[in-house]
Amino acid sequence: MAKQFVKDVTAMDEDFAQWYTDVVTKADLIDYSSVRGSMIIRPYGYALWDNIKNELDTKLKETGHENVYMPLFIPESLLQKEKDHVKGFAPEVAWVTHGGDEKLQERLVVRPTSETLFCEHYANIIHSYRDLPKLYNQWANVVRWEKTTRPFLRTLEFLWQEGHTAHATQEEAQEETLRMLNVYAQICEEYLAIPVLKGQKTEKEKFAGAESTYTIETLMHDGKALQSGTSHNFGDGFARAFDIKYLDKEGKQQFVHQTSWGFTTRIIGALIMVHGDDRGLVVPPRIAPTQVMIVPIAQHKEGVLDFAYDLKERLGKVARVNIDASDKKPGWKFNEYEMKGIPVRLEVGPKDIENNQVVLARRDSGEKIIVPLNELEVKLPAMLEEIQNDLYNKALNHREENTFTVQTFDAFKAQLEERQGFIKAMWCGDQACEDKIKEETGATSRCMPFEQEHISETCICCSKPAEKMVVWAKAY
């Protein structure tokens, strides 16, 4: 059966990009649409997003945020208000120039992000310190006209949430910025079993219009990095551009301090590339739409299907359980649910029924165990928990094994040629060095990790005194 599979999916080590494309389509996560760079998210792909969204939405509400919805269109003049922001987004916006046959007086942008809309609204509704803080979030789609695209990782349109908050002070805004970064880190580590590296972006890599940008960076199976969530502190820059002021307790006019933060369908790309293997997708139990798939064996024999359906109902109380009672062969079903990464397969046939037992097979390790019926309610949740933890630890080990420390530019280049990963190196803080490193190696600065190490005295690029340890990588 293993052999049959290899025919379907390109081996990861042979061609990782092709492997990825095979998995997203064969696990039935997406289909391509007739618009270049746009994807159709299929029911299984959307179910994954739904679960991620529900976990995150719960956390956003627990931290005091309210959901709103902003319009899809932004007038050109509104986008122009904050200079850095418009400069950052202008090359990749989609324009609406006509309504029906009529040319519009003012062009509209299809939102690439909604800072400007929130700012305009906040200027209207915030007047006094009593109106603060405002903790709004929206779940929406955004459009960015990307030149090269890949399902989930870079598409013309993607789904996300964008939080936009306004605060009385810079301290509160900073606290919020880091709080939300930590919420993203929690979703990644606790639900998606993906370890994250937390840090601050350099000036070059920060968000257009932000004072500071923080990120969680994750490492994929092939040693490339993926920016998996960002949180920005805007200071009062946007407030000055949009005139968002409030009367403080002393009756003085003050500008608000703002944040924004976003988490997107991109994370499904990370899920695939962190946990997947040559047999397809591997989904961590906590986020899996189906945690256990029951596959009846010799289901035409009397009593087998009834027994399997009873099991589904019984175990539905301790896990998300599904059953495939179609007339396809068990071998086909095994392949199909391995491809989809369903964490546990439960096999039950006439012999098992006779012996009061079932077989549980783990997707991640391939391990199969026989479990007595009366122990299932205990053993099954324990197995799911174990898979969750094992997946996280495996990903963490992989990241540790592929994190390298270098002290010279030559060693940096040699490392990238030998094996990609996170590369820790010292940097002087000058953008010219950052540019040069990118130009000569293709690696970008991923972040200045919160946990700094003192690797050497000087910048690897220019040999001037070093300011920060930066983690570099080639990235998606």
Where do contacts with Zn ion occur on this chain (CB under 5 A)? 428, 430, 433, 459, 461-462
- Residue 111's SS3 state is coil
Q: E strand or H helix at 245, and its extent? A: strand 245-247
Cβ closest to Zn ion, residue 390 vs residue 430: 430
What gap in Å lies between CA 29 and CA 374, rounded to an integer? 36
Nearest to 237 by CA among 82, 355, 42, 103: 82
Q: How near is the Cβ of 88 to Zn ion at its closest, in Å?
A: 24
| Tokens found for residue 476 | 């998606």
Phi–psi pair at 28, nearest 5 degrees: 65, 40
Cβ closest to Zn ion, residue 63 vs residue 408: 408
Cβ closest to Zn ion, residue 384 vs residue 459: 459
CA distances from residue 192 to 122, 220, 343 in whole angstroms, order as listed: 34, 13, 13
Nearest to 65 by CA among 148, 166, 143: 166
Cβ closest to Zn ion, residue 75 vs residue 429: 429
Q: How near is the Cβ of 451 to Zn ion at its closest, in Å?
A: 22
Cβ closest to Zn ion, residue 153 vs residue 459: 459
What gap in Å lies between CA 369 and CA 435, rounded to an integer? 54
What gap in Å lies between CA 309 and CA 322, rounded to an integer? 9
Beta-sheet pairing, 321-323 with 292-296 = parallel
What gap in Å lies between CA 147 and CA 130, rounded to an integer? 45
CA distances from residue 171 to 235, 256, 349 in whole angstroms, order as listed: 10, 11, 62
Cβ closest to Zn ion, residue 63 vs residue 407: 407
Cβ closest to Zn ion, residue 358 vs residue 461: 461
Q: How near is the Cβ of 453 to Zn ion at its closest, in Å?
A: 18
Cβ closest to Zn ion, residue 166 vs residue 433: 433
Q: How near is the Cβ of 225 to Zn ion at its closest, in Å?
A: 21
| Tokens found for residue 38 | 């746009």
Cβ closest to Zn ion, residue 70 vs residue 428: 428
What gap in Å lies between CA 428 and CA 460, rounded to an integer? 8
CB-based contact 112:143 (threshold 8 Å)? yes
Q: How near is the Cβ of 474 to Zn ion at its closest, in Å?
A: 20
Q: How near is the Cβ of 457 to Zn ion at its closest, in Å?
A: 12
* 346 beta partners: 294, 360
Q: How near is the Cβ of 428 to Zn ion at its closest, in Å?
A: 3
Q: How near is the Cβ of 439 to Zn ion at its closest, in Å?
A: 14
**Cα angle 264, 183, 384; round to 5:** 85
What gap in Å lies between CA 171 and CA 159, rounded to an integer? 30
Q: How near is the Cβ of 414 to Zn ion at its closest, in Å?
A: 19
Phi–psi pair at 302, nearest 5 degrees: -60, 130
